[in-house]
């Protein structure tokens, strides 16, 4: 694949990731249709965390996910590499999947 092909594929994957994250946000709204509800059910579990983390890794982000006892979860996306002093997306939620989704949305925004 040429450099242009790689860039186009990366841009396509980014659009798909943003669309998926938007669907999970819309599904939280009252009266969301069955398709959005199915999307939310699919991504609101550990498999969804893995899918979002893999998609963000392709976009050049590392994920740090921390559980704080029964208080909740913090997800932080930073530019890939060893130094994670600059967070580009961070969220605190009751569940790990919601924290990851919100932090990814913030990082890509």
pTM equals 0.85
Neighbours of 29 (CB within 10 A): 8
Q: Which H or E element spans position 77? A: strand 72-79
Q: What is the pLDDT of residues 21-76, one digit of tens each?
A: 988 888 777 667 888 888 888 889 999 999 999 999 999 999 999 999 999 999 99
Give the length of the chain.
109
Q: Give residue 73's pLDDT.
A: 98
């Amino acid at each position: 694949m040429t450099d242009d092909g790689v860039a186009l594929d990366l841009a396509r994957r980014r659009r798909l990731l943003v669309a998926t994250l938007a669907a999970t946000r819309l599904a939280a709204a009252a009266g969301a249709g069955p398709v959005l509800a199915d999307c939310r059910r699919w991504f609101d579990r550990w498999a969804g965390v893995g899918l979002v983390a893999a998609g963000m890794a392709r976009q050049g982000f590392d994920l740090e996910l921390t559980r704080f006892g029964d208080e909740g979860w913090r997800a932080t996306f930073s530019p890939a590499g060893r130094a994670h002093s600059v967070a580009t997306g961070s969220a605190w939620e009751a569940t790990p999947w919601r924290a990851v989704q919100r932090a990814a949305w913030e990082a890509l925004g």
